[in-house]
Amino acid sequence: KAGVTQTPRYLIKTRGQQVTLSCSPISGHRSVSWYQQTPGQGLQFLFEYFSETQRNKGNFPGRFSGRQFSNSRSEMNVSTLELGDSALYLCASSARITGELYNEQFFGPGTRLTVL
């Protein structure tokens, strides 16, 4: 069974630009979550999508947004990039037992975003 895949793996952007990252979950998983990892703040939860609906959101500004498609693939968008957005962005997928509760989460390799 293929794992979680993320594209692209590396990205370099300049301040003010926008970026879109993609995540394909494990086959059969309908929940996709996004996390940001930086040396200073560690791993922080961005948001979670289940059945094309955002179910939960972390404490990030509105410049960070996402969506999920009918095949459970998810995209994350960051608009008006800032230097502080440089980070490793990780996607995780999970097979929810019910509509509200999580099962084990599996992570992809991440997208390394550098903002110049």
Partner 1 sequence: KQEVTQIPAALSVPEGENLVLNCSFTDSAIYNLQWFRQDPGKGLTSLLLIQSSQREQTSGRLNASLDKSSGRSTLYIAASQPGDSATYLCAPQWYSGGGADGLTFGKGTHLIIQP
How far, in Å, CA of 35 to CA of 30, rounded? 17
Question: Sign (positive/negative) of CA torsion 105, 2, 109, 28?
Answer: negative
Of 17, 18, 26, the C-alpha closest to 6 is 26
Q: Does 60 interact with partner 1 (rule: CB under 8 A)?
A: no
Q: Does 55 interact with partner 1 (rule: CB under 8 A)?
A: yes
Going residue by residue from 63 to 82, which x/- string records binding to partner 1, judged by CB under 8 A? --------------------
Which of residues 58 and 79 has its CB atom nearest to partner 1 in the complex?
Answer: 58
Q: Which of 58, 65, 86, 95 binds partner 1 (CB under 8 A)?
A: 58
Q: Which of 23, 81, 90, 113 binds partner 1 (CB under 8 A)?
A: 90
Nearby residues of 72 by Cβ (< 8 Å), 6 or more positions away: 25, 29, 30, 32, 93
> The tokens 């609906």 sit on which residue?
53
Instruction: List contacts with partner 1 (CB under 8 A).
Output: 4, 33, 35, 42-48, 55-56, 58, 88, 90, 92, 100-110, 112
